[in-house]
Structure 1
Amino acid sequence: MAEEQKKLKLVSNTQIYLDTRRLLDKVLDVTPNIPRNYKFTIGSRMQDTSVSLIQEFAAAYMTRDRNERIKHIDNFRALFETLKTLIRIAGERKWIKGMGIHAEIIELTDKIGKQMTAWKNSLSK
């Protein structure tokens, strides 16, 4: 148990975790602006998917089994693509309000995507 907590602390110090956490914060900030008709289908899905990203990353980071790690990374990537699509929809419909907020979110998703791809590639060698 103590080793798992120690490992979890290390997870929260990684750049990809910090960036994914910032993305979750941004999603939580923008979802109140989503119209009521779409708040459950789009807004809640964005929030749930963002939380799932953190869970998948932590699971991938904490496991020692290479195949299990790759499985969690693949799950992360699938969820991440879904979230990017939902963010794109919200941006196109002007639900993301604020000076440059949508651009910040896109920049953050690009950064996370590159980090996750690099991690997956390092495991494929």
Structure 2
Amino acid sequence: MRRTITTVLLTTTLALTTAGCGTSDTNSSKPKPSKSTVYKLQPDDQWKQSINAAGITSWPEDAAPTVDEIEAMPKDWCKALNEGHSVKWLLEDGGLYPIGDDWGTTKSEAQKLIVLGAEAYCPKQVSRVKAELRKSGGY
């Protein structure tokens, strides 16, 4: 009886081992991504998508910022935030208020844009930006 059980176990083990060998599936050696893998957008794409989703009403279609102006905003804000400047400074003394020659932004939407820009380009600053805006009553 022992010999039969041992033989069955060895045969089963051998069959299972060889079943995995010799397959033509070349992907079997590549690690599969975990189910928790989340695709992260590049900052430029995240920024553009968040602007579209934000529904900025103070930018009329015939007088909206150019692509170059839109792309420059968060990079300038993050540079200043990383240097320790406040959101208030960005919108006042820093000269980084989102406004152009023929377009403007309401203050509440400007604050929203700074949050969205920080989320896309300088996520380490987001909590500070939000806290600052909450403290001032702007977010």
TM-score, normalized by length of structure 2?
0.29
Structure having the higher helix fraction is 1
Query: Could you say which structure has the greater relative contact order, defined with CA pairs below 8 angstroms and 6 or more residues apart?
Result: 1
Larger radius of gyration: 2
